[in-house]
Structure 1
């Protein structure tokens, strides 16, 4: 059976997350329903596998999944057909590539990248409603960067891990945590970029929620180091809401979409 990699973009707002659920809408369910219109295997219940299972309300601009189909499609025609059948769901297939049977969207990946958007302004959001986390108070960029520096590298991230996390180990290596600031009408936008081989459940939202407390002046920057060292979920700051989080990319030893 030919295997295809799918590069997927979606607005997570209407969905209960990536993972298919029996009684709630999911991104996986939407893509599999579109595939069922095109492939007998999916009409009979075949499943796709993704690089990461985003939570309810989390968006993606670079999710990757793979599907084993009975028919050997031209990749461009498959992407066009899937996008037609995905309407009107806010899900788009950006690219499709034929890959080797050894390729696995999750297990072949060596890096995942996330973006979190945090907006500081008093006026309600309009265009970015549901696509960023808004706070009304000002934030100190330098303080947040100082706090973030304590989290780089290999650590036990138990403090920043959901109690529902199913990962075998809380030890992860955070390769990048950068924060940028930009002026927007009557406010400021802060963008947190995180990069690692893999992340724990709620790790990004726990980190951003904690750094927001630093930026607001409620935490001194060195409290982030103390929270990390505590290895205790109770030492974490608030877990921020999901709507500002985006899965922006997944890296593989060989980019399946390089020539697609």
Structure 2
């Protein structure tokens, strides 16, 4: 029987005879290009930035008794020196003020030469800000000097050096009036050996043996003992920066030398070991005080050649 050829099916991709139809290319709709943002001239951008008003920048010297505080830096659920300063400044300037400190002292450590910087849009002058802040601060914190700071000044990163002092009362009887500011030691101390050992600290080296946290390299410029009175000992150490707990660990190990537990070569081996477990215990915090912070007196980070200006005392007509 004769077979009939298949009829053409509507919509079939094949032609009659079994050949495939060529596909038609679909035309994609043309997309309208998005308008590019108009680029501003760099000179105009620079000119607009220069015309923006800059927030006034201030630096101040602060003294405090750290006995009642958990350190300088702000902490959650803890009373700190930075928290008290920010609270008082925010109230006086009527805006939120953030403070940066040159040294983040630990709990119980004092300061007579701490330096801070902050910014505020307040139109108040320095004398008004300083007096207002001191009126709101607790009795164990005071702003002793305040002045405008350079735009790029930073209390911590612009500092070139810091000096700490550790006070010891070397006497059998304690002084109740100075108990918060000095460590009392009744036993004998070899001051000559302690001086020889402290001289080994001068220079640039790794001080991991005296670090409470991660170690690092620091440059110690001066480390010396002085005896201003028959029952008074002072240890002053100056460096570009300090590791956490470094000064107290150094003092505790030097007291080992003074008490005869180790000799000067033994102290030198501890310095070179870079092992905190080899060094002595940290001295109590109440004897330590940050007494000075150094800066370069140039246009980059100093407001004036005279340094920080003191806040004038209240006069009778100002009260």
TM-score by length of 1: 0.92
2:180 corresponds to which residue?
130
Runs of 4+ in 1 over 3 A off after TM superposition: none
Whole-angstrom CA distance in 2 between matches of 1:250 and 1:76: 22
Alpha-carbon distance change, 259 to 177 in structure 1, aligned in 2, over 3 angstroms:
closer
SS in 1 for 2:59: strand
Map of 1:227 onto structure 2: 270
8 Å CA contact 2:146–2:308 kept in 1: the answer is: no
TM-score by structure 2 length? 0.75
Determine which of 156, 170, 177 is the counterpart of 2:206: 156
Which of 1 and 2 has higher RCO (CA within 8 Å, sep 6+)?
1
Counterpart-to-counterpart distance in 2, 1:109 and 1:147 = 27
How far off its partner does 1:259 sit? 5.9
**In structure 1, which of residues 40, 50, 53 is the aligned counterpart of residue 104 of structure 2?**
53
SS in 2 for 1:31: helix
Considering only aligned residues, what root-mean-square deviation do their CA atoms show, in Å? 1.4
The correspondence for 1:2, drawn from 56, 68, 71, is 56
Are the counterparts in 2 of residues 121 and 138 from structure 1 also a CA contact under 8 Å?
A: no
Does residue 205 in structure 1 map to residue 248 in structure 2?
Answer: yes
Contact 1:141 1:181 in 2 (8 A): no
* Larger strand percent: 1
Question: 2: distance between equivalents of 1:223 and 1:73?
Answer: 57
Aligned to 2:219: 173
What are structure 2's unaligned runs of at least 5 residues? Answer: 1-54, 310-319
**Residues 1:258 and 2:301 are matched in the alignment:** no
1:13 matched to 2:67? The reply is yes
CA deviation map 1:182-205 (0-9, x unaligned): 335xxx211011101100111100
Count matched residues: 249
- Tell me what 1:33 maps to: 87
Query: Does 1:118 pair with 2:168?
Result: yes
Instruction: For residue 118 of structure 1, report the CA deviation from its aligned partner.
Output: 1.3
Structure whose alpha-carbon radius of gyration is higher: 2
